[in-house]
Structure 1
Amino acid sequence: MRRQIFQLKVSLADVTPPVWRRVLVPGGYTLDRVHRLFQCVLGWQDCHLHSFDIDGSQYGEPDPEGELTLRDELDTRLDAVATKGGRFLYTYDFGDWWEHEVTVEDAFGADPEERYPLCSAGEGACPPEDVGGPFGYRQFLAALADPGHPEHESMRGWLGRSFDPSVFDPGRATTLARWLS
């Protein structure tokens, strides 16, 4: 029997220009590995808490202080919670609240000639960490785009590198995903 592969489309909610990725993920991945994969292909740096909301159940890293009621993502495989045509949410950074809509576009047997995981497509650069969620990201882009904007220089200095919201390289994302997940 061939391994089952899930084709997931991960879309960052409430941002323009659009940011999304299409990934092929082994069904045997636990949700903690799916989290690491999403971090890689989206461009996040895994500096904040996260959770999955799947069919009304919350999954993530158990909270030792018991403030968050989460099922342990280490104990849950993707193929146990994902179904073709299904949807779920992945939230990253509970302060900035980056919500990702995940669509299970397909499920099929693994191609023995292919290596997984694989980022097959995508669009848009990931927003910088700690930019302030979707609202802060809109302000950030407006400031960067206008040299006359009062925050232009401070935003450029804060980021410390160039930023093009349209740039995405699926080959680089796949390389990182295979290395880190």
Structure 2
Amino acid sequence: MGARSFKYLYDFGDGWTHTVKIEKTFPVVSDFNDPVRLDVTGRCPHEDVGGSWGYKEFREALANKTHERHDELLEWWSNADYDPTAVNAATLRKSVDTLAANWKRKSRKKA
């Protein structure tokens, strides 16, 4: 049956490890091997935010204008309306399509 989940290391510097759970597989379709995003829940933390402790402080600081690091992190992030549950489906679709185009096997010309 194969693996039902795998680990994905995101942002090597901060060491975020995500577990991707395979909930359903589909039969192979001839001539179709592009990656497909079926669903998503939430967003990944911003890169270089400082691991889980930095991410917690980042969220607290953006949400609280009196937090000592609010202005600093707001300037770094440049968006006070950070919502970890908000997902931009169009941007994700474009990213997956770009990956699919880059991963396509190039046909070899026989000499």
TM-score tier by shorter-chain length is: 0.7 to 0.9
**1:119–1:171 contact (8 Å) kept in structure 2:** no
What is the identity percentage for the equivalent residue pairs of Structure 1 and Structure 2?
34
The Cα offsets for residues 112-133 of structure 1, whole Å up to 9 and x where unpaired, read as 7x88422121122321110011
Q: Within the alignment, does 1:158 sit opposite 2:76 as a pair?
A: yes
Q: 2:35 is matched with which residue?
A: 117
The Cα offsets for residues 69-95 of structure 1, whole Å up to 9 and x where unpaired, read as xxxxxxxxxxxxx826x2221112332
How far does residue 168 in structure 1 lie from its aligned partner after superposition? Answer: 0.3
Counterpart Cα distance in 2 of 1:121 and 1:170: 9
Q: Which has the higher contact order (CA 8 A, sep 6+)?
A: 1
TM-score normalised according to structure 1 size: 0.47
**1:117–1:174 contact (8 Å) kept in structure 2:** no
Q: Secondary structure at the match of 1:90?
A: strand
Q: Within the alignment, does 1:179 sit opposite 2:95 as a pair?
A: no
Greater C-alpha radius of gyration: 2
Aligned residues: CA RMSD: 2.4
Q: Which runs of 5+ in 2 are unaligned?
A: 101-111
The Cα offsets for residues 14-51 of structure 1, whole Å up to 9 and x where unpaired, read as xxxxxxxxxxxxxxxxxxxxxxxxxxxxxxxxxxxxxx
Is 120-129 or 163-172 further displaced after alignment? 163-172
Change (3 A) 1:152 1:180: same
4+ aligned runs moved over 4 Å, structure 1: none
Q: Comparing both structures, which one devotes a greater share of its residues to strand?
A: 1
Q: For residue 164 of structure 1, what is the amino acid of its counterpart?
A: D
Q: Comparing both structures, which one devotes a greater share of its residues to helix?
A: 2
Counterpart Cα distance in 2 of 1:139 and 1:102: 25
Counterpart Cα distance in 1 of 2:95 and 2:11: 21
Q: Within the alignment, does 1:168 sit opposite 2:107 as a pair?
A: no
Identify which of 137, 149, 153 aligns with 2:55.
137
Change (3 A) 1:142 1:156: same
Q: 2:9 is matched with which residue?
A: 91
TM-score normalised according to structure 2 size: 0.72
